[in-house]
Structure 1
Amino acid sequence: MRKPRFTDWLFLALALVIGAAAVFVALRPTPGADHSAHRPVVTADLAPAAHSDGLSEAESGYRFERITTPAVRGPEVPVAFRILGPDGRPVTRFLDNQTKQMHFFAVRDDMNVFQHVHPALDGDTWHTSLALTDGGAYRMFAEFVPLDTKDPRHPVVLGVPFTVPGDTTFVPVPAPAGETVTATGYRVARVDATARISPLRAQLIRFALRGPDGALITAVDPHLGANGHLTGFHTMLLSATHLHPAQPLGARLVNGELTFHAVFSDRGEYRLFLEFSHGGRVHTAAITVAVN
């Protein structure tokens, strides 16, 4: 039996290289392909709907059509828009989502301005107004649940930017913190402030509520058909994240805790806006959290 020659080893090495290259090409992700099988898995009822983050004016066949865009300052700046469906026609009926067909948000890019309103339908056009007392770059979001959706827990969120001209008092986004105070004197603390929040993972966000007198709040009034409403916005991307109440409506708040299901799509800092009703009025608490 002859010994392998140098050329034999050379051809063998060349064959191995070609084979490895073929395997690499076969396994390499194809642009535009669905790679969901390789993503972290979260429970189906909490998984974020694909692209439902308000970073686009069109998604899932629906499109945001501007009619009247805010362009001035004022206490009641009008806004009007249509939602066009897959057939290009205005859509005027959606499923109720926390008692409303349409939720509408506006945030400034420094997160110092937040508005949550509920437009009224007139014909085929949705109308509302915003209190815009300062200039700057803003983004507005329309959130709705289509009648034919297969997943009513995940609304469609469309977003478009707009600019209010004039001087702007820029306010840096507050760093992540464990506690904040509302303009009405309520203290809101994250119970699990030291817990790590990871992207694309179902988890709970827990808040402890105290009144202006320092006493724990044991019960809240219904607000939008729930104990509270929580929305998050990525401080760099300006993407929107809807968080679902974990407690049933009317449940007693043990240790003053109000709890929400959360799934964050991206790493980074989020500004959370918690709305709850107590003492006959709605209070809004803003707090920054880090997702990493």
Structure 2
Amino acid sequence: MISSARLVTPRRAIAAAGAVATLALTLAACGFSNDSSNDSSSMPGMDHGSKPSTVSSSSASPSTGGMPGMDHEASGNGLSDSQDGYRLTSKDTTLPSGQQAGYRFTVTGPADKPVTDFAVDQTKRMHFYAIRSDLTGFQHVHPAMAADGTWTADLSALTPGSWRVFASFTPDTGRGKGKDLVLSRTLTVPGNAKQAPLPAPATSTQVDGYTVTVKGEPMPGMAHPLTVSIATDGRPVTDLEPYLDTYAHLTAFHEGDASFAHLHPTTKASDGNGGPDLSFHAELPTSGNWRLFLQFQTGGKLHTAALTLRVG
């Protein structure tokens, strides 16, 4: 749950030395084969609630896991299904096209047993993301866990192609207590998959009548301030509602290697409304194009704006 300057997501802290901020920066990544998207979002790159976005991007690097849905290289950056003794396991290697589906998974710990005790982060014990290999179809949902440690993430209709799903969490007991982890697996949605190009870099985009503008010039591997401003009909928006304990949620994916980053405003949400300017502490590790997804809420409705940011 512009998730990336703490364009990072996935979450509280893969931050490098010198990173200023009360935000946590976590890096993750997704890489798969090529494909395309075609959903009912009002504009390309927009995601309304948990529905997939029609945002497009260039292809990511293919997965190299030895088995479907498994990737054992790049451990520690979100591209792996395991880290520090924790593993993301699932029997789901495919999901149907064009219909809602539940992705079932379990997180096992160093003792190879399901983990059931997770710390609350941004009001949730688990943040779950899905992105297609061309960086379309972005979804951010919060799955439910059964007593045996099995999670079910309810995903909106997926388009054919290769997808990567990320589980972002913090164990509350055991060896990994208090450590932010991001693990991922790949899955396939059968059907005719077509690659969609990445939209060109831009400083602003529109969604649901709102104009979202990004100000700042992040440099790769360096902490840098980033400001997101939201307006409607030329007027600054000041009625942003608290969402996940803040006023906006930012997620980003890097073109080429599809690494994932996730950022939140430095200002914690209060009981009142926020806006129009949201400050972020950005630290993007690599140069190139990043596809950003900003989620914010007004009038009880969640909006998702997407644009491409050039770094370096």
Whether the TM-score (by the shorter chain) exceeds 0.5 is yes
Change (3 A) 1:77 1:214: same
Query: Contact between 2:242 and 2:273, CA under 8 Å: does it hold in 1?
Result: no
Q: Are 2:253 and 1:233 aligned?
A: yes
* Distance apart, 1:223 and its partner CA: 0.5
* Distance apart, 1:214 and its partner CA: 3.1
Q: Are 2:297 and 1:273 aligned?
A: no
Query: Match for 1:118 among 138, 142, 155?
Result: 142
Which range is displaced more, 68-77 or 78-87? 68-77
Q: Are 2:228 and 1:207 aligned?
A: yes
Change (3 A) 1:150 1:136: closer
Query: Contact between 2:92 and 2:187, CA under 8 Å: does it hold in 1?
Result: no
* Equivalent residue letter for 1:57: D
Q: Which runs of 4+ in 1 moved over 6 A?
A: none
Change (3 A) 1:84 1:223: same
Q: Are 2:189 and 1:167 aligned?
A: no
What residue is the counterpart of 1:42 in the other structure? 18
What residue is the counterpart of 1:181 in the other structure? 206
* Distance apart, 1:125 and its partner CA: 0.2
Change (3 A) 1:53 1:240: farther
Query: Contact between 2:220 and 2:283, CA under 8 Å: does it hold in 1?
Result: yes
Amino-acid identity (%): 37
Change (3 A) 1:93 1:119: same
What residue is the counterpart of 2:308 in the other structure? 288
Query: Contact between 1:134 and 1:169, CA under 8 Å: does it hold in 2?
Result: no
Please report the TM-score for the alignment, with normalisation by the length of structure 2.
Answer: 0.72
Residues 8-87 of structure 1: pairs in structure 2 closer than 5 A: 41-43=17-19, 48=25, 52-87=76-111
* Distance apart, 1:270 and its partner CA: 1.2
* Equivalent residue letter for 1:73: S
For 1:151 and 1:65, how far apart are their aligned partners in 2?
A: 19
For 1:275 and 1:151, how far apart are their aligned partners in 2?
A: 28
For 1:93 and 1:207, how far apart are their aligned partners in 2?
A: 35
Change (3 A) 1:167 1:238: same
- SS of the aligned residue for 1:241 comes to strand
Change (3 A) 1:171 1:80: same
Change (3 A) 1:136 1:272: same
* Distance apart, 1:166 and its partner CA: 0.7
For 1:64 and 1:230, how far apart are their aligned partners in 2?
A: 23
Query: Match for 2:266 among 234, 237, 246?
Result: 246
- SS of the aligned residue for 2:200 comes to coil
Change (3 A) 1:205 1:75: farther
CA-based RMSD of the aligned residues comes to: 2.4
Query: Contact between 1:48 and 1:265, CA under 8 Å: does it hold in 2?
Result: no
Residues 152-163 of structure 1: pairs in structure 2 closer than 5 A: 155-163=180-188
What is the aligned length?
Answer: 246
Determine which structure has greater relative contact order: mean sequence separation of CA pairs < 8 Å that are 6+ residues apart, divided by chain length: 2
* Equivalent residue letter for 1:81: F
* Unpaired segments ≥5 residues, structure 1: 1-39
Query: Contact between 1:52 and 1:155, CA under 8 Å: does it hold in 2?
Result: no
Query: Contact between 2:26 and 2:261, CA under 8 Å: does it hold in 1?
Result: no
Change (3 A) 1:151 1:189: farther
1:202-240 alpha-carbon deviations (Å, 9 max, x no partner): 2222111012x3321123101011111111111221222
For 2:309 and 2:248, how far apart are their aligned partners in 1?
A: 18
For 1:169 and 1:49, how far apart are their aligned partners in 2?
A: 30
Please report the TM-score for the alignment, with normalisation by the length of structure 1.
Answer: 0.77
* Equivalent residue letter for 2:305: A
Change (3 A) 1:49 1:261: same
For 2:26 and 2:267, how far apart are their aligned partners in 1?
A: 22
Query: Contact between 2:94 and 2:190, CA under 8 Å: does it hold in 1?
Result: no
Query: Contact between 2:247 and 2:274, CA under 8 Å: does it hold in 1?
Result: no
